[in-house]
Structure 1
Amino acid sequence: MALAIADEPQISVQRAAFAATIGNMLEFYDFITYSFFAVEIGRTFFPAQSAYGSLMLSLATFGAGFVTRPIGGIVLGIYSDRVGRRPAMLLSFALMGVAILTIALTPSYATIGLAAPIIVILARMVQGFALGGEVGPTTAYLLEIASPENRALVVAWQPTSQEIAATAGALVGVVLSRAMAPEALDAYGWRIAFLIGAACLPVGLWMRSSLPETVIPDASKEEARTSHLVLAGRHIRLIVLALMILASGTISTYVTQYMTTYAKTTLHVAADLAFTVSVVSNGLQIAGAILGGWLADRYGRKPVMVWPQLAVLVLTYPAFLWIVNAPGAWSLLFGFGLLSAIGSLPYTAFYAAFTEALPQEIRGGVFATIYAVAIASFGGTAQLVVTWLLHVSGDPLAPSWYLLVAAAAGLVAMALIPETAPAKIGRVELNKRTA
């Protein structure tokens, strides 16, 4: 299937989808890489009297990127609605690349002193700004290049690309940590991991520069003369529901990323098994995201959101109970793997439903802002909350409590969000909503 818009060149939907989601891949690759090498990064840029102090400073710098995400979501999201998806995606990708290269190439504290941590903190803030404006425009673009019958499946490449990159980042981290001596890893090994991600920058910029544009500004339309804030206000109920769903999904994602640490430190299983659980979980989420998109196109957005989310709500506590009482390969791989697979189904359907329900004039900005706010508020705190719950309760089942509350809130919102699938409401009505 080929895509050609206005005077733009013809390009396949598959290639356009890959070019649009390459920024998400770089985002999650960097996320996993920074998490994996937080100790080494701390020693390089944040020397302290204790290893704990150095690590905490490193993690605080990682968290600095969350602060600027909502700002990037507002600025770049609105920019994509006013000027076009392609220039917004090019700008966010370029800023992201500059930030990653800056972190990888900044000399250590021992070499340039206080300038080193300052540069790294600023780079993380620039990166957060870029990432905040990445997801909204790309999700809107994926929806807009797809045919109505396949929109959810094309949008599925948003979460799929994230899981692929997370898996790649984990694999690169493990390979480098096993292939290099600890001294070499501290000195330059972690930089290699970042530079591997940065290697995709030229290709990504080239691919995005050739994308056809989907936003054709039309000053004659009433919406074009109306502010983003006024238009968004007309969809406030939808936005609140979307924020609840994204908060639920964000908590689930970041607690999932914590499970490797949880398996090692709380359940005391072997590191190899903990890593295997992470890889298997990511693989199942890749399959679940694609399957969720396929099902949402055929049976509607709401059934694919509500029923899997209900299953997650019912299965979370029993799965954790099994994992805690009998920690091992079977319980971790099957119990946690089952939750990962089922839990990944609803969010592709949600991405499609939310973007379809918004008019194009505010689609990129609203999605980017709500997504960035959810990530900054709940993603940046999820692992801290779980660690705190484990500490104050002493109960290894504590992560399941947080997941249950998040899943329940997400289920309520999913049940209330409007259906937008052509299979349910018809193409004519859908075109009126998305025009």
Structure 2
Amino acid sequence: MAGFITGKFLFGILAFLTIQFGTCLSKMLEENLRISAFNLRMFGDARAENTDVVEILAKIIRRYDISILQEIRDKDGSAFKLLMNEVNGNTDEYASDLSQRLGTSHIKEEYAVIYRKDTVRLDDTYQYPDPDYDYFERPPFSVKVHLKTADELDEMAIIAIHTKPTEAVEEIDKLVDVSKNTSDHWNGLKNILIAGDLNAGCSYVTTKEMKIISLRKDKRYSWLIGDDVDTTTSGSDCAYDRFVASGDQLKAAIVPGSAREFKFEEEYNLSEKQMKEVSDHYPIELEIRGRVNRRELAKFDSKLSMSFQDNTIHNREDVMRILNSDDFVQYGFDVSIDVNIGTEKKHITAFMDNMTKDQVLSIMHSINLSSDLIRESVCELVILHLNSPLMSGIPGGHGFLIEYDMRYAFEVSCEEDGYHRCSFKLTRGIVTIGSFA
């Protein structure tokens, strides 16, 4: 197949047509939606007086379409109002809702949701019923939201939680019941994200204890922030803050690799002192795939190809073997020769479409046995290419898995013009665009 390929070769991938820029982007793809959970560290009147802190908090919140905030200690609501004014500036872009003030001590806390109104609609809120604080120090607060610009995920619930550190194991274990209760409250809603400071690490939840927690053992729930992630800005190294997702649609809609901590001090060039003044926690974040206009997407046809260019000079007999032998013809290749009368330049081509991977490998092996045109090093290279995970599909910029057709187009072409140079090309087409599960 490519025995004439020796010495130097050009190994290239012709990238698929990008749809991430310009007017094509606006027609085909909505931006991904971002969701965060953030412990604001005792946010009340005193901290609201620090204008630098409020400004940074507002910048962080404006990164997201939905922010789930914890540890708001604001008796009269003035501190949170000041924060919302900073978030909106001169606009009315964001809206918010608050839980009731919760806690067994004189220090009460509220959960808050802040959301971008042009991408999210808040449909309902729900306070988990634990009036006597039998199960939680701060009973979970849930919101049901409609995602206006998400792809194939219209609505979901988010359960905000901030566990009591010394009771973290018991409170996290109870969250399976909270999730079921929330689902039942909203008529069987399946797509639910648990978000917040679970204190799910270090001494509060040990590795041994994590293994027995129902929320961890139940396969319906996916933990999206790893145990090795540090979600604190202090000297500790603990994965306190977590996302836990349930529901097939929600899991499929989350952009792979997007769940992480947001290190705001790097983004905003803050000193360590400034960072710790903002919070002792990092916000955690994830992305939901934006809506795809599949009618527009269907207009595009893209290819992924790999080409090998050989600069070795072949003799005439080697090149003409393409025409004169049965190496290609017996397999049904379309073999042709074009001659330029004025220069007597010949262009020889062997082409076949709709080939399977096994057919490609079989033909390459057969040609290698019957002629000197293919060499062992080239065989190894092509086999490596055909078996590469890249050829099964590659992640696109919108969180998609771009899958490729299982069929190949195979072409060998040579020029005979006193010198004889040949090239080989194997091409696979994009046929579907689907999401990661």
- By the TM > 0.5 criterion, same fold? no
**TM, length-normalised to structure 2:** 0.22
**TM, length-normalised to structure 1:** 0.22
Which of the two has greater helix per residue? Answer: 1
Point out which structure has higher relative CO (alpha carbons under 8 A, 6+ apart).
1
Q: Bigger radius of gyration, 1 or 2?
A: 2
